[in-house]
Amino acid sequence: MKLEPPSNGETPALDVLVVGAGPAGLTAGMYLARYRRRVRIVHDGSSRTLWVPRSRNVPGFPDGIIGADLIARMSEHAVRYGAEIAEGRVVEIVRRENDGGFRARLEGGATIDARGLILATGVDTNLAKLDSGDHKTAVQSGVLRYCPICDGFEHSEERIAVLGSDLHGAAEAMFLRQYSSDVTLIPKWQVALTDAQRAELEASGVGVLEGRVLRLDAAGTTISVTLEDEAAPRRFDILYPAFGSTPRSELAAMLGPLTDPNGCLPFTAYSDGLLPGVYAAGDVVAGLDQISVATGQGAMAATRLHNWLREQEGHVMADQK
Ligand SMILES: Cc1cc2nc3c(=O)[nH]c(=O)nc-3n(C[C@H](O)[C@H](O)[C@H](O)COP(=O)(O)OP(=O)(O)OC[C@H]3O[C@@H](n4cnc5c(N)ncnc54)[C@H](O)[C@@H]3O)c2cc1C
């Protein structure tokens, strides 16, 4: 027996609202549609996968796949089985008092009611600012990179610069050292490393520059970095800014104190849920920010939420509860 929709004359509630149409949200939507749930995926068009020039670590695509093509395929897949996809920015989510479901409000004022929620809202990459050259073009051509795990392999033995000389930058430089013997760590403002950390980098063959960066210029197949007190710019084949990312967890925070000190949602959010009827998946969850991880968590969140809804509907064996 299915729960009755709200009897106040409003549009019947969806079974599930998924916020986010990246790999996590689209996988969750496709699974839920195949569980014959009424599901809508709402997104504001900013999946990070849309930035990926060509990903070569998505299983099943040995020659790589362009990020926008992957999103198009995943969207088609979800829609094929009955998921609705709509563009819009969700600005508020509240729990409905009368039936324990949720109400999302979109920019512009429209509302969506749903019995369950999946938050697959991703993160915002903290970007480097170029003084010349277009940022998007530099990412598409591969001179500006943001994810060593994703594409370090493609830059074996090239001249790699990592921008940001705190521990995060140092760790990223050390990671990239696996791919190239020419890795240089460049401070954004000043080097914030202990002597021991510097010695570790030196022993591993990672160069550390001291001067403050004055300019970043991307042109064609190289990127140049001009440092204070240096007349000529230094040229690199690739620059990885190591500025981290900012989780888009503001909607989750409206439902309760659910984020960790970094603004991430707990790692178990895709399996154990955040609250009854609320799951999260993908980059917004603490852990490894990767397409494969996002799809796996999307599948898990969808299945757990479907089972939770079945339990509400009395469609599980008593021993399963
Ligand atoms: C340059 C670059 C290259 C990368 N290359 C690779 C690679 O080769 N391999 C790999 O595995 N990973 C790669 N990644 C990482 C990969 O893109 C992410 O791990 C992946 O996109 C995470 O999926 P997600 O669904 O969690 O989030 P996202 O894909 O970022 O999707 C988040 C979704 O939430 C929506 N959203 C957020 N807030 C709201 C709101 N309030 N209202 C409505 N919609 C909202 C957005 O519109 C978007 O649809 C790369 C990332 C970058 C930046």
This prediction's pTM:
0.95
Question: Using a 6 Å CB cutoff, which residues line ligand 1?
Answer: 19-25, 42-49, 51-52, 55, 57, 89-90, 120-122, 125, 139, 146-147, 150-151, 248, 251, 282-283, 289-292, 294
What atom of ligand 1 comes closest to residue 122's alpha carbon? Answer: 27
Q: What is the CATH number of the domain that holds 184?
A: 3.50.50.60
Angle at 260 between CA 92 and CA 239, to 5 degrees: 95
| CA-based R_g, the chain, Å | 22
Centre of ligand 1 from the C-alpha of residue 180, in Å: 27
Centre of ligand 1 from the C-alpha of residue 315, in Å: 34
- Report the number of distinct structural domains present in the chain: 2
Nearest in space to 174 (alpha carbons), one of 205, 199, 195? 205
Q: Is the pLDDT of residue 321 over 90?
A: no
CA 193 to chain centre: 28
pLDDT band of 191, cuts 50, 70, 90: confident
Contact 243, 164 (CB under 8 A): yes
Contact 277, 116 (CB under 8 A): yes
Give the separation between CA 223 and CA 5, rounded to whole angstroms. 57
Centre of ligand 1 from the C-alpha of residue 256, in Å: 24
Least confident of 91-105, 182-196, 231-245, 265-279: 182-196
For 78-130, the pLDDT digits (tens) are 999 999 999 999 999 999 988 889 999 999 999 999 999 999 999 999 999 99
Give the separation between CA 221 and CA 234, rounded to whole angstroms. 14
Number of alpha carbons in the 13 Å side-chain half-sphere of residue 303: 7
Domain that holds residue 187: 127-241
By alpha-carbon position, which residue is closest to atom 38 of ligand 1?
121
Is residue 8 in a domain? no
- Domain-terminating residue out of 241, 272, 295: 241
For 2-53, the pLDDT digits (tens) are 444 444 545 668 999 999 999 999 999 999 999 999 999 999 999 999 999 9
By DSSP bridging, strand 234-236 and strand 222-227 are antiparallel
DSSP character for 264? Answer: P
Is residue 1 in a domain? no
- Domain-terminating residue out of 190, 211, 241: 241
Centre of ligand 1 from the C-alpha of residue 47, in Å: 4
pLDDT band of 318, cuts 50, 70, 90: confident
